[in-house]
Structure 1
Amino acid sequence: MGLKESLAKLSMINIKRGEVLFKEGVPSNGAMFFLFEGQLDIYKQIDGKHTKLRSILPGEFFGEMAIINNSPRAASIVVVSESAKLGIINRTTFVQMSQESPEFLFLLLKKVIERLYETDGKIRAIKRKQDEDSMISKSLPSLSNDGASASNEESLGQVPLNTFTDDAQSIGE
């Protein structure tokens, strides 16, 4: 059986715009996902702000660390399209897909490596920008109260911490 056939057998969930699939640091339920429809954004807490790292588009797997080592979620995932259709891959399904479709493991490993490089570069750029902004505000104290901070946060894709409150319902957890 090929990868397409394996994906067609997945349990599906539909979630709406603004819903949090899972939050960074929350224990995982051992499931990863495949996005069939919609768009999701990935946020990571960096220096007290939830910073958008990238978007997840249809055809992508994500949440694989939950399958591999059952670690807490490394980032928060939020639906940004009207709705999103996701396939749930638990450990049993993961093993079965791996055995039935070796291409699945190759594609997954390739994607994970690409994401590691991409995320590392993005985090380094954000920190570099924050360091530059900090140095500028220290050398020009009269500019620190003119609202530049808020516009810098927006340009970095940052949102306040209260966007992901502790009482927000997580889907799939």
Structure 2
Amino acid sequence: MSSKEETSLDSAPKNGAAAGAPEEQRLIQVHLRKIPLLAELDDAEISKVKGELRIRQYHKRDVVLHKGGSGDGLLFLLVGQLQVIDVTEDGRAIGLRMLHPGDFFGEIALINNSTRSASVVAMTEVLVAFLPAATAMHLFSHSPSIANYMLRHLAQKIQRDSEFRALLSINNAARRIYTYLALMQQKQPTPQPGAPIVLENLPTHQDIANMINTSRETVTRALLTLAQNGIVQKDAHRLIIKNPEALKKLVQGS
């Protein structure tokens, strides 16, 4: 995101206030067009959605959604990064997945008319758009493109959760880390033959540790081993998988 966009978005209203200024409205409409769920809506439908939105800004480590809260709306991440977390009975925070601009969340509690099943925490400064339940449910029932997208999304979510449960069942912590990277790799666009695979916006070592039930030190050691063996290369907030086949063999335990 450019510094100009950051400056403009910083002027957006805080803590749930409705966006009012023309420039703020224009910026919001631009961001809405980047949300895959809304991509096929026409201009009139987008304008209607925009008129119902409430824009909220949160600081790093703020809780955006609380587990057990009411499913009173659908939320869209416009700027920044969020993490979905759950808390075990012994009080440990377990990271479930990361959310990036264009993602939406809160749909399960909304559809089920139930309470939130997990919490969502800001990993950076974030800008979130809140769409009230009545408007969101109207879109689900009256927009074929949104209904179809939501069905695909829920099917993918079931598959992802199944993969994650299988990952957590692996006893060896290093193999869990390798498997986690392999799952992230599968979600990337298919590169040209022989080209490395780049994992953008890699979570911190602590966040990865929380997600796969191990320690930050174990994650650091595993990534260092991969780098020393020429399998990966760490580059700022991304990881370059230089040898996907070697990573696959480690996942398989060979």
Counting matched residue pairs gives 139
TM-score (norm 1): 0.66
Counterpart contact for 1:67–1:90, Cα < 8 Å: no
- Which residue identity is paired with 1:23? H
Q: Which residue of 1 aligns with 2:96?
A: 53
CA distance in structure 2 between the aligned counterparts of 1:96 and 1:123, rounded to whole angstroms? 33
CA distance in structure 2 between the aligned counterparts of 1:114 and 1:153, rounded to whole angstroms? 22
Q: Which residue of 1 aligns with 2:33?
A: none
CA distance in structure 1 between the aligned counterparts of 2:83 and 2:206, rounded to whole angstroms? 19
Q: Which residue of 1 aligns with 2:105?
A: 62
**Equivalences for residues 1-173 of structure 1 within 5 A:** 2=42, 4-9=46-51, 10-24=53-67, 26-46=68-88, 48=90, 49-81=92-124, 83-98=125-140, 101-126=143-168, 128-129=169-170, 131=171, 155-157=209-211, 158=213
Alpha-carbon offset, residue 154 of structure 1: 6.3
Counterpart contact for 2:74–2:110, Cα < 8 Å: yes
CA distance in structure 2 between the aligned counterparts of 1:124 and 1:47, rounded to whole angstroms? 21
Deviation digits for residues 22-72 of structure 1, max 9, x if unmatched? Answer: 222x13142221111111001123564321111011111111122212212
Change (3 A) 1:153 1:36: closer
CA distance in structure 1 between the aligned counterparts of 2:122 and 2:207, rounded to whole angstroms? 21
Identity of aligned residues (%): 21
Across the aligned residues of Structure 1 and Structure 2, the Cα RMSD in angstroms comes to 3.0
Counterpart contact for 2:95–2:207, Cα < 8 Å: no
TM-score (norm 2): 0.47
> What secondary structure, in the 3-state scheme, does the structure 2 residue paired with 1:41 have?
strand
Q: Which residue of 1 aligns with 2:13?
A: none
Counterpart contact for 2:73–2:136, Cα < 8 Å: no
CA distance in structure 2 between the aligned counterparts of 1:153 and 1:89, rounded to whole angstroms? 28
